[in-house]
Chain A
Amino acid sequence: MIEPVFFYSALIISVAAFLAILRVLLGPSVPDRVVGVDTLNTLVVAAMVLLGAAYDRTIYIDIAIVYALLSYIGTLIIARYLQGGLE
């Protein structure tokens, strides 16, 4: 049973993700791009959960959890690099 309302909300999320990609492409400084990527990560997690509900597969939520955990680590590594590296 495919519920169309989840697809519409995923479409809205993808529009927001497109705007975040625009910030990553245009951002004048590096922290702008990092914040854009962080926003994009959160939006991708939201889209994964919505698409898992749309396709009616509960196991797709696992992938969203893994992505949320690993995107946090990725942002943390970039922040550590920007604040002065690993020393």
Chain B
Amino acid sequence: MGLIVKTSARAIIPLIGIFGTYIVAHGHLTPGGGFQGGATIAGAGVLFLVAFGLNEMRKHYNKHLYSALEGLGGLAFLGAAMLGIGTAFFYNTLWHNGPILNGKPGTLLSAGFLPIMNLAVGLKVFTGLVSALVAIAMYRRWKS
């Protein structure tokens, strides 16, 4: 698109990324969480795609990396759920007797495995949405 849109996108994309990361990281304290923050960061990817065009996106988008990161997000969620498998599935052992993430409720490093799960879901949602949108954007030309 035009010069104004490109320049403003250059300013806004880091803002959206940082704010989405804030939403993901504070998922256990404020409204939002993994999906909402991940979708917000994916909005930055959509803005990049719309403002700079498909050819520029093709240079910066790596299909294998995004696919691997999406799987890694799912695995990290499952790994956090497996941490307290000695008692039960999804047992929040980091909160009850873990070394980290068992601070005072209301602070950032509290709530056991919830921040890990929020980060995992945020990573998975971001990479999945960006992969889907890029795949749709370079699907095919209009005529067959």
Contact = CB atoms under 8 A, between A and B. Distances in A.
Chain B interface residue count: which class?
20 to 34
Interface stretch (B39-47, B85-93, B95-103): B39-47
Given A69-B15, A72-B12, A73-B43, A62 B23 contact: yes
Interface in A18-76: 59-60, 62-63, 65-66, 69-70, 72-73, 76
Contacts, number: 43
B19 A66 contact: yes
B53 interface: yes
A52 to B, nearest CB: 11
A70 B40 contact: yes
B9 to A, nearest CB: 8
A86 B15 contact: no
A77 interface: yes
